[in-house]
Amino acid sequence: MSGPLAGVLVVDLTRVLAGPWCTQILADLGAEVVKIERPGAGDDTRDWGPPFLAGPNGERGDAAYYLGCNRNKRSVELDITKPFGQRAVHELAARADIFVENYKVGGLARYGLDDATLRAANPRLVYCSITGFGQSGPYSHRPGYDFIIQGIGGLMSVTGERDDAPGGGPQKVGVAVADLMTGMYAAVGILAAIAHQQATGQGQHIDASLLDTQVAMLANLNMNYLVSGKVPGRMGNAHQNIVPYQTFATRDGHVIVAAGNDTQFASFSRAVGHPELSADPRFARNSGRVANRETLVPLLERILAAQPTAHWLEALEAVGVPCGPINDVAQVWADPQVRHRGMLVELDHPLAGMLATVASPLRLSETPVSYRSAPPVLGADTQAVLAQRLGWNDREIAALQAESAASAKP
């Protein structure tokens, strides 16, 4: 095993997206991630399809959703409510560097798998809890789902077409960004805690929540409100603070224009054949363009509608104005830059042969990300982990597997 986290053991009691996204990042960086899963069912997302992975004879495998966030992990199938299952997790936690869970607040205490209990036995342990609303506060008992968090945390109030435009109204983002960003923040927190652990030998508890993350990631819109007292609204594909920074309809489609400063706007004006726009005192500076948005944007809409998308991409790229098309997912994977960057990685899978997966965006020059194994089938590593990591004998392993089989019955 290679990577900057080689030799680090992670016990993963997470499922769905935020937690598995976090632990996949750690796994890509070389950590050994042992994913603990419910007997007979496993991670909820194994069944979140279609689409499902198909075998050579049409056998149904895991859902694509599960395959997107569980690479490089080992799957151990056990019941944490039963004696042998609890013993296995306790023994793994005693040897682990990191423990990640996304159960309801206090849910693991009844099994002795809470932060206080496990860190009393292993003071080095970095214990990360991922929940919807955090470990404290009036909402802490509530289950947290990305969609709900996008609403409560303000993202849907600034996403979607303007309220006075056709189709206006609240809109969620197309992927579960609160989940994904929480997983990323949790991974960052874990890496900071590991640095502290290595320096002092002391572990700690990380309290990561979707709501905290969603509030934080409003970024400049938070500060717009805090500075001005004005509540930002939906802007469709336009920008709150920059003009022009939006999509425009062309003769045959759309183009994104992102003129982020006054020099770029001057170049844009020349490229579209209207240099007088950047000389106009109303539009010469970005603050003026934002103040006079309702006047400027209709002018630009008429200009850009006169030519096809390819014409404007060539003209704007030639003068260094940031621009781009709007690709669908198939077009993304055909894009020459995406292909050059190696964002597609194939891994050997026991059901499907070679499985296409999405590469990590991390590029480390000295300790690169490694791609060791496809997302595991349920329980694929139970026997190996118990024997190799815990030293259990055949009788003990058989007892746990019998316990799990009983728990898996309908």
Is 179 one of the annotated active-site residues of the chain? yes
Cis, bond preceding 50 (omega within 30 deg of 0)? yes
Catalytic position from the list 12, 43, 79, 179: 179
Which residues are CB-contacts of 260 (< 8 A; sequence separation ≥ 6)?
242, 245, 322
Residue 377 φ/ψ, nearest 5 degrees: -70, 160
- DSSP, res 369: -
- Position of tokens 């026991």? 350
Q: Cα(35)–Cα(13) distance, rounded to whole angstroms?
A: 6
CB 247 within 8 A of CB 237: yes
Task: Name residue 204's beta-bridge partners.
Answer: 126
Q: Cα(326)–Cα(186) distance, rounded to whole angstroms?
A: 31
Q: C-alpha distances in angstroms, 53 versus 49, 332, 347?
A: 9, 21, 13
CB 354 within 8 A of CB 44: no
**Pick from 183, 140, 78, 147: which is nearest to 400 by CA?**
78
Active-site residues, by number, are 179
